[in-house]
Structure 1
Amino acid sequence: MSERVCVGAIAGAFGVHGEVRLKSFCAEPKDIATYGPLWNETGGQSFSVRLTRPVTGGLGARLTGVQTREDAEALKGVTLWADRSALPSLPDDEFYHADLIGLEVVDTGGVVMGRVRAIYDHGAGDILEITGPRAMMLPFTRAFVPTVDLAKGRIVADPPQDQEE
């Protein structure tokens, strides 16, 4: 587990006075402003966030150190990371995507299938992208993923029959 989790990104400038358009990756989008200072991906720059209003495709916000439209435009595409300690604890059967990416995936017989490369949610539930010896897209449901063991760094999967080799 990393010490920071990506919670959003700066989508560009909004207005002429240094306001930015934020894309929040939080379950409740406005929570992005409650996790204390947010960091860029390298941890070299931090921002305090004050939400200003909902905007098309995201949230309007003021960030510390961003005074002009040019300052805001220069940050377009920057991802925002919160300290893990600032995030709420999750129930036993829920996981942060950041904790799943990179985990080894084995089938119910212990044969290595690959690693979690990415997680997608197109509205019908999370899908794990597994790369490696048995690359596949796997629904992230209890039926297909009966065990997630973060301590051992692995997932036990029971893929649908048409996904197996």
Structure 2
Amino acid sequence: MSDDRICVGSIGGAYGVQGDARIKSFCAEPTAIADYGPLASEDGKHTVSLTLLRPIKNGFAVRIDGVTTKEEADALKGVKLYVNRDTLPALPDDEYYHTDLVGLTVLDTGGEELGKVHAVHNHGASDVLEIRLPGSSATALLPFTLDAVPTVDLASGRIIADPPEGVFPE
């Protein structure tokens, strides 16, 4: 997948028996997923247009153009939905798309490498960076807060971190 596309959601399968589906939005404003026009699958071979019907637990009930049965909606379960980066709004200086953070080198305030960003997670409270430790498959979870991550430099591909005690092994 190229860097010019960003994952904005995923389809969770059928919602009811009329062909409606459930989706999970990864947008900062969850309803914005319906504003970006047709969404593409990860491989780019399929596009979907959707209409938000109502909020449901962990997402939205939606109507997908061309999907009329429960079986068709279930067949889309797990499909991730992408848009072109230039479709999305520009971000303020202190906000980042998760995809831009993955792969950045993380250094402590003394310049020592702590690892590379493997993934960005958000389980409801705030973002957490999963950092893969150098020369290891082990990871550490770093809160993505201004205190713990005072500097993100996308141009140089690095993050300066001041992690709370105990996040990284000594």
Q: Taking structure 2 as the reference length, what is the TM-score of the superposition?
A: 0.88
Superposed displacement of residue 54, structure 1: 2.5
Separation in structure 2 between the aligned mates of residue 137 and residue 15 of structure 1, nearest angstrom = 37
Q: Which of residues 156, 163, 167 in structure 2 aligns to 1:163?
A: 167
- Unmatched segments (≥5 aa) in structure 1: none
- How many residues matched? 165
Match of 1:122 in 2: 123
Match of 1:27 in 2: 28
Match of 1:49 in 2: 50
Match of 1:139 in 2: 143
Q: Which moved more, 1:52-61 or 1:68-77?
A: 52-61
Match of 1:3 in 2: 4
CA separation of 1:138 and 1:57: change in aligned 2, threshold 3 A: closer
- Unmatched segments (≥5 aa) in structure 2: none
Q: Give 1:60-139 correspondences, 5 Å limit.
A: 60-133=61-134, 135-139=139-143
Separation in structure 1 between the aligned mates of residue 4 and residue 82 of structure 2, nearest angstrom = 10
Q: Is the 8 A contact 1:35 1:83 kept in 2?
A: no
Separation in structure 2 between the aligned mates of residue 119 and residue 92 of structure 1, nearest angstrom = 18
Separation in structure 1 between the aligned mates of residue 132 and residue 6 of structure 2, nearest angstrom = 22
Q: Which of residues 138, 144, 154 in structure 1 aligns to 2:158?
A: 154
Identity of aligned residues (%): 56
- TM-superposition CA deviations, 1:24-73 (whole Å, max 9, x none): 11222211100111111111111111112233432111222322211111
CA RMSD between the two structures:
1.8
Moved over 6 A (4+): none
Q: Taking structure 1 as the reference length, what is the TM-score of the superposition?
A: 0.90
Superposed displacement of residue 19, structure 1: 1.3
